[in-house]
Amino acid sequence: MNNLTERQKTLLLLLIKDYIESAQPVGSKRLAEHYHLNFSTATIRNEMGALTEMGYLRQPHTSAGRVPTEEGYRYFVSEMMNKAELPEGVQRTISHQFHQSRPELEQWMTLAASILASQSQGVSVVVAPHVEQAKYKHVELISTQGRQVLMVLVMMGGDVRQQILTLTEPVTQERLSQTASRLNTLLAGLTVDAIASLPTRTDPLDQDILTLILQDFKNTASRTNEIYTDGLTNVLREPEFSGSEEARKTLKIFEERSTLQDLLAKTTTNSNIGGLQVLIGGEGEWEELRQCSMVIARYGVPGMATGTLGVLGPMRMSYARTIPTVRYVAGVLSDLVNDTISNENDIR
Amino acid sequence: MNNLTERQKTLLLLLIKDYIESAQPVGSKRLAEHYHLNFSTATIRNEMGALTEMGYLRQPHTSAGRVPTEEGYRYFVSEMMNKAELPEGVQRTISHQFHQSRPELEQWMTLAASILASQSQGVSVVVAPHVEQAKYKHVELISTQGRQVLMVLVMMGGDVRQQILTLTEPVTQERLSQTASRLNTLLAGLTVDAIASLPTRTDPLDQDILTLILQDFKNTASRTNEIYTDGLTNVLREPEFSGSEEARKTLKIFEERSTLQDLLAKTTTNSNIGGLQVLIGGEGEWEELRQCSMVIARYGVPGMATGTLGVLGPMRMSYARTIPTVRYVAGVLSDLVNDTISNENDIR
DNA sequence: AGTTAGCACTCCCGAAACGAGAGTGCTATT
DNA sequence: AATAGCACTCTCGTTTCGGGAGTGCTAACT
């Protein structure tokens, strides 16, 4: 497959780079004079002919410049994947921002989304880390109004969920506290499976709450509102989305979230922490993304808590900028998650 | 000001209605044959001339049809404001949706945003109710990891806030619980002012937490993430936003939220529960909204807990649809908030 | 006096025509 | 094998132009 001569290779990479910047079909002349090459336009034309033959380039019409095909982008990306580094200065800035933010997951998520969007000029998506084999830590039951009770469930790792329950009859705060305290000693440190296999409690309130806690554990995977996003308006800047219908379809993905979820779920499974995945043109699977690319990474601690994050942009996006940014931010988040988890373990 | 003849009035209203539907300048001929009027195009032309003179209409250029001015829209809106009613069926559907959703504020907010957006085909904004003169109910302190503590603050009325604190040194869960319990008896039912005027506590931890609680009370107004929104992509459907730059500016308002906040804050102050406000063309104040209109309402229980909600659309939006929808949803939410609050008072 | 028909005039808008420019592939030459 | 030259193709922005819609005015009509 990699049967390109050195010259073809540099030519291909240069052309794509140029197209990414200019958003316009690149011709032999432009290429020759923009980057002073030591061979002539005619030679370039020949080579471009070959590259077109091989499926890396395409001409919108006879006698226009060349434009990369999806295949071309793939080559480009695989070529730069391991080379691209984020400038030291930018790295420091980003790291700094994270470390001086308040140490809350929500802060980290919005910050990550914001940084990804502004650095890449694309739309960012950050999915909060999902704790695998979540362990119970603590529950609080607070009577709020009549039969309604606020349940705050704290997981090991700092994950917190709250939920309002409506009981069949009013219960005093005192009884609630007793139930909470009993459950706290009973369940401390247990996983879903362990909790599920416990014998039924005699106290009916205890049992009810236990069931609810269990449900909450299981719901963990389908939490849809934990997706953070930023930079939506960036797509409107790109010329390929100036036709508003195209833009609408793309933005809709982020409003509905179901496609997005599907997408992230599928890619999540193939990819490891530290490894990036680049989807180009929807990879034939997602009609809505035919014009787009996504750079996706997982972050977190495998087996403990992992999440996904990424950037969506036009197929013509600046991979040279986006790839290292996504990688770096994923790294920082991984560290933060890791710290959070190991702290937890140290102290308990 | 209201010196329009009956005929001018019907003509003006018809023209605006037609323009809202067609998005194109309306001429005398179109008006005459579309709605079978018993006077001729020439008469219509005369009247339109007069209406233009008076500032209600405008022609994009000589010899095009007429288009409403902001003044025209204002007249139109004030005219229909009290007439427009939501069809019974739609009312029932909406009400039904609310009552079968889970009784959580978050659910209500997203549901309201979704309904507003889909009914009005505009962008919806819903700001969670802000409890005025919030009263303390309960605090929980839960050690999560080392020096980090999760503080859950529950207000009367069911408002819940959580925050992660980092203490200067680790504290046992037991001591935290004692502090919480002391504060709970001390502060029960108090308002900000009452809490602020308490003498300093002797226990330093108690005092620290007290200060934090107070801060949290005060922050109440500036919570930015309690804004729910939906239907962003709807603006891209409108012809006036087909130029992507216009669309971008408008959508940016919803991403940044600061303008939005400003806007809602200003209008909030002039308006009463039950009364709608319609901002047309940004009312000279907001450059970004020059092309837009907003229909805004407050909801909730005055003096207790109130919020804001509204719809943004092109100036050409379907007021006949949007106004009653906003009013109705505001009403339903008011009822829900009211129920929540009075429940609270009954039982305690 | 208010309403209407007729008419000349203005201006937008889409279609067609056109020329410049950019790019290509091929061939002959170095 | 690389390059210069050349004829050819196709797009795109501009210009031209006529149709159409709509207006305002005037004169006639009720």
Q: What is the mean pLDDT of residues A12-37?
A: 94
Decide if B248 contacts B254 (C-beta within 8 A).
no
Strand C close to B42 by CB, under 7 A: yes
N- to C-terminal Cα distance for chain B?
A: 54
pLDDT of residue A186: 93
B145 CB neighbours in chain A (<8 A) are 158, 340, 343-344, 347
Q: What is the mean pLDDT of residues B233-238?
A: 93
Would you call A103 helix, strand, or coil by DSSP?
coil
List the one residue out of A120, A28, A12, A27 whose CA is nearest residue A74. A12
pLDDT of residue B263: 87
Please return the burial class of A145, using the count of CB atoms within 10 Å of its CB with bins 0-12, 13-18 and 19+.
buried
Q: What is the mean pLDDT of residues B149-173?
A: 81
Q: Among A244, A257, A260, A346, pick the best mutation site for testing chain B contact (most B Cβ within 10 A).
A: A244
N- to C-terminal Cα distance for chain A?
A: 54
Determine the residue of chain B that is closest to A250 in CA distance: B233
Lowest mean pLDDT among A119-123, B160-164, B325-329, B339-343: B339-343
Would you call A124 helix, strand, or coil by DSSP?
strand
Q: What is the mean pLDDT of residues A196-216?
A: 90
pLDDT of residue A3: 81
Residue B158 to residue A170, Cβ atoms within 8 A? no
| Greater pLDDT, B217 or B19 | B19
Residue B83 has pLDDT above 70, yes or no: yes
Over residues B16-36, the pLDDT tens digits come to 999 999 999 999 999 998 998
Per-residue pLDDT band for B105 (boundaries 50, 70, 90) equals confident
List the one residue out of A101, A86, A144 whose CA is nearest residue A321. A86
pLDDT of residue A340: 77
Measure Cα distances from B119 to A271, B38, B77 in Å. Answer: 41, 35, 18
- Within a 13 Å sphere around the CA of A86, how many CA atoms are in the beta-carbon half? 21
Residue A147 has pLDDT above 50, yes or no: yes
Strand partners, B155: B136
pLDDT of residue B145: 67
Decide if B16 contacts B73 (C-beta within 8 A).
yes
Q: What is the mean pLDDT of residues B45-68?
A: 95
Lowest mean pLDDT among A317-321, B265-269, B304-308: B265-269
Q: What's the distance, CA B38 to chain centroid?
A: 42
Residue A347 has pLDDT above 70, yes or no: no
Which residues of B make CB contacts under 8 Å with A?
102-104, 137-138, 140, 142, 144-146, 148, 150, 152, 154, 157-158, 160, 162-164, 166, 170, 230-233, 236-237, 241-242, 244-245, 247-248, 251-252, 255, 340, 343-344, 346-347
Residue A124 has pLDDT above 90, yes or no: yes
Lowest mean pLDDT among A231-240, A299-308, B162-171, B209-218: B162-171
Per-residue pLDDT band for A345 (boundaries 50, 70, 90) equals very low
Residue B347 has pLDDT above 60, yes or no: no
Strand D close to A269 by CB, under 7 A: no
Lowest mean pLDDT among A40-44, A274-278, B60-64, B298-302: A274-278
Phi, psi of B229 (to 5 degrees): -145, 155
Over residues A68-96, the pLDDT tens digits come to 999 999 999 999 998 889 999 999 999 99
Over residues B278-298, the pLDDT tens digits come to 999 988 788 889 999 999 999
User: For residue B117, what is the DSSP state?
Assistant: H
pLDDT of residue A225: 56
Structure tokens at B188: 């029960």
Residue A144 to residue B137, Cβ atoms within 8 A? yes
Over residues A254-265, the pLDDT tens digits come to 998 888 988 888
Q: Among A236, A237, A344, pick the best mutation site for testing chain B contact (most B Cβ within 10 A).
A: A236
pLDDT of residue B345: 46
Residue B348 has pLDDT above 50, yes or no: no
The gap between A11 CA and D4 C1' (Å) is 21
Decide if A122 contacts A233 (C-beta within 8 A).
no
Q: What's the distance, CA A236 to chain centroid?
A: 21
The gap between A63 CA and D5 C1' (Å) is 18
Strand partners, B139: B153
B215 CB neighbours in chain A (<8 A) are none
Please return the burial class of B126, using the count of CB atoms within 10 Å of its CB with bins 0-12, 13-18 and 19+.
buried
Residue B109 CA to residue B129 CA, distance in Å, equals 9
Structure tokens at B79: 């005219």
Strand C close to B62 by CB, under 7 A: yes
Residue A34 CA to residue A21 CA, distance in Å, equals 13
pLDDT of residue A221: 52
Count CB-CB contacts under 10 A for residue A165: 17
Strand partners, A136: A155
Residue B230 to residue A255, Cβ atoms within 8 A? yes
Q: What is the mean pLDDT of residues A309-323?
A: 96
Determine the residue of chain A that is closest to B102 in CA distance: A164
Residue A344 has pLDDT above 60, yes or no: no
Alpha helices by DSSP H, listed for chain A, are 6-22, 28-34, 41-53, 70-80, 88-99, 105-120, 173-187, 192-196, 204-219, 244-256, 258-270, 319-347
Residue A344 to residue B145, Cβ atoms within 8 A? yes
Q: What is the mean pLDDT of residues A169-176?
A: 88
pLDDT of residue B302: 87
Residue A276 has pLDDT above 80, yes or no: yes
Residue A193 has pLDDT above 60, yes or no: yes
